[in-house]
Amino acid sequence: MSMNKYMHPRNIYHKPPDFKELAVTYPEFKQYVKLDISGKTMFDFKDPDALRSLSRTLLKKDFDLDVEIPKNKLIPTIPLRLNYILWIEDLMDFICREKDIKGVDIGTGASCVYPLLAAKKNEWSMIATESDKDSVTFAHNNVERNNLTELISIVHTSGDTLLTDIVDCASHIDFCMCNPPFFSNTQELHPFFKARSKNRPHPKNAFVASTNEVVAKGGEVEFIQRLMAESKILQNRVLIYTTMVGQKRDLPVLKKTLRDIQVSSFKETEFCQGNTTRWGLAWTFTNYDLKKALDLVKLSAKPPKCKAPLIYQLPVKDTTSESVSNMTDTILTMFKNLKMTIEEVTRNKMHQRYFLTTSSNTWSHQRRKRRERMRQTSEDSLSMQDVPEQNDNDEDEVISPAKRTIEDICENTCKKLRLSTDSDSSREVFKFMCAFNCDQDKLYLEFNTLNEDHNREYLHQILQYVKNNICKDDAKLAA
């Protein structure tokens, strides 16, 4: 499922790139774009060369950055990188930092994409650290070819510390950022090990990276905990520490670590793009309460509109207590006959509310069920006349074809909602709200689902069942 609608509201990739336009404008990219017989644009996200060209093209088109991405190095996903930068912008706004902002990118990689985006977009000063010698060379070249050497410094580190040596040499640091290695060993790189379940589909994008870029002892948890341990020593020498988290299951242990080192406050966010979700953690030892920082991603995600309830005016002459009670009892009796569980929620003179739960579709095809019951009764009476008397000691049980037919029919009539196979109780399949509302001299029946994921078609079916049976009761009274 595409997560683009949950992107940061300022992310320009809310609307996916026009691949046809990119192919026309950038010849290097054109070779990776194909047209099918209907004229639809086709792009192979599993082709590493195509994906590398896409990242380079987007950086050039949208940020005027000329970035070399080596074939054996990690291919940066630009919408994700931009989401992280935009979140840092929000945090800097929250602490009222507007000028002379200085940040550190821990493990910048060969593309050096975070510092390049931060410097080009916001004119921030960036220190980019990297322990891999080849990546340092490529990062240097990328900074120089974009004329950003005054804003970006590349530092080749030994890997013994993540941040301490850099902070000791800096006058001030506003923030640090980090895209840590996700995996603890090379075996975890296989899609089977990366998936949370066997049925989970494999990633749709090609995966290309050197081992040191994505694998570290203890995986991302141990790597981030190293950063947290250093932050405890450095305290407010860095105003805000941040990191990306690749796996949601790692968040609880990381947040516990933040509590253990007694940070002043911390903040969590989501980076959503394409079919991928990542998470961000920020913490501080200053007096800034990061929990009060607005999460623009969550604010921009509009909640789903609540669907209006189904409303039906019940046929009552007045809304006296007796009339309302009689009608309510009649309808609740219908539900009991349908084997629904009834839970009273509120009950007063003007408003009565119930939760109803069912584990099978007992309201559909009522006419057919009545005909089958009548037919079975008739057949049973005829068969009783023809079947010879059985001895009590007979071991074989006679099973009539009619009985099997009825079981088959009952199974078919319950095909939309099936009974649980549990022996002790039936599982909850459909739960809805039923209310009786008095308005002057009118009584209304109201139905609504308790879960937006539930099929509202069942509500319409149940309401029709109520209408049909009320009409029958009225007809009987008139007769």
- Average pLDDT of the residues in 459-478: 78
Residue 380's Cβ-side half-sphere holds a number of Cα atoms within 13 Å equal to 11
For residue 466, what is the enclosing H or E element?
helix 457-478
User: Binding site membership: which residues?
Assistant: 81, 107, 130, 179
Looking at residue 160, what is its pLDDT?
A: 83
* Banded pLDDT at 400 (limits 50, 70, 90): very low
Looking at residue 5, what is its pLDDT?
A: 72
Looking at residue 367, what is its pLDDT?
A: 66
Q: Is 159 left (phi over 0), alpha (psi -120 to 50) or beta?
A: left
Residue 19 CB partners (closer than 8 Å, separation 6+): 33, 41, 43
* Banded pLDDT at 401 (limits 50, 70, 90): very low
Asked if pLDDT for residue 385 goes beyond 90, the answer is: no
Distance between CA atoms of 135 and 332, rounded to whole angstroms? Answer: 72
User: Exposed (0-12), middle (13-18) or buried (19+): which is 346, by Cβ within 10 Å?
Assistant: exposed
For residue 137, what is the enclosing H or E element?
helix 133-145
CA 320 from chain centre, in angstroms, equals 49
- Average pLDDT of the residues in 119-132: 95
Asked if pLDDT for residue 387 goes beyond 70, the answer is: no
Distance between CA atoms of 254 and 231, rounded to whole angstroms? Answer: 13
Strand ranges for 82-161 from DSSP E: 102-106, 125-130, 152-156
Highest mean pLDDT, choosing among 24-33, 40-49, 298-307, 470-479: 24-33
Asked if pLDDT for residue 361 goes beyond 80, the answer is: yes
* Banded pLDDT at 163 (limits 50, 70, 90): very high
Report the mean per-residue pLDDT for the chain. 81
Cβ 285 vs Cβ 235: under 8 Å: yes
**Residue of 172 and 366 predicted with greater confidence:** 172
Of 150-164, 242-256, 345-359, 405-419, which range is least confident? 405-419
Q: What is the DSSP letter of 183?
A: B
Asked if pLDDT for residue 426 goes beyond 60, the answer is: no
User: Exposed (0-12), middle (13-18) or buried (19+): which is 22, by Cβ within 10 Å?
Assistant: buried
Looking at residue 105, what is its pLDDT?
A: 96
Asked if pLDDT for residue 281 goes beyond 90, the answer is: yes
* Banded pLDDT at 212 (limits 50, 70, 90): low
Looking at residue 408, what is its pLDDT?
A: 47
**Residue of 52 and 456 predicted with greater confidence:** 52
Looking at residue 394, what is its pLDDT?
A: 44
* DSSP calls for 14-72: GSPP-HHHHHHH-HHHHTTEEE-TT--EEE-TT-HHHHHHHHHHHHHHHH-------TT
Cβ 360 vs Cβ 419: under 8 Å: yes
* Banded pLDDT at 36 (limits 50, 70, 90): confident
* Banded pLDDT at 26 (limits 50, 70, 90): very high
* Banded pLDDT at 159 (limits 50, 70, 90): confident
pTM over 0.85: no
Asked if pLDDT for residue 448 goes beyond 60, the answer is: yes
Q: Where are the domains of the chain?
A: 4-300, 310-374+402-471
**Residue of 435 and 188 predicted with greater confidence:** 435
User: Binding site membership for S-adenosyl-L-methionine: which residues?
Assistant: 81, 107, 130, 179
- Average pLDDT of the residues in 114-120: 97
**Residue of 65 and 399 predicted with greater confidence:** 65
Residue 427 CB partners (closer than 8 Å, separation 6+): 359, 420
* Banded pLDDT at 87 (limits 50, 70, 90): very high
For residue 257, what is the enclosing H or E element?
helix 251-260
**Residue of 160 and 141 predicted with greater confidence:** 141
DSSP β-bridge partners for residue 126: 103, 152
- Average pLDDT of the residues in 198-217: 54
- Average pLDDT of the residues in 70-95: 94
**Which superfamily, per CATH, for 4-300?**
Vaccinia Virus protein VP39 (3.40.50.150)
CA 12 from chain centre, in angstroms, equals 21
The closest of 303, 305, 306 to 450, measured between CA atoms, is: 306
Looking at residue 219, what is its pLDDT?
A: 81
Asked if pLDDT for residue 295 goes beyond 90, the answer is: no
- Average pLDDT of the residues in 166-170: 87
Tokens of 156: 């080749």
Tokens of 131: 């322990």
Distance between CA atoms of 238 and 176, rounded to whole angstroms? Answer: 7
Looking at residue 21, what is its pLDDT?
A: 92
Q: What is the DSSP letter of 188?
A: G
Tokens of 209: 């990276």
Distance between CA atoms of 5 and 300, rounded to whole angstroms? Answer: 9
DSSP β-bridge partners for residue 351: 437
Tokens of 278: 């990542």
* Banded pLDDT at 207 (limits 50, 70, 90): low
One-letter amino acid for residue 14 of the chain:
H
Looking at residue 429, what is its pLDDT?
A: 73
Could you tell me what percent of the chain has a pLDDT over 90? 46
* Neighbouring C-beta atoms of residue 27, cutoff 10 Å: 8
Residue 99 CB partners (closer than 8 Å, separation 6+): none
Asked if pLDDT for residue 188 goes beyond 90, the answer is: no
Of 169-183, 269-283, 291-305, which range is least confident? 291-305
* Banded pLDDT at 117 (limits 50, 70, 90): very high
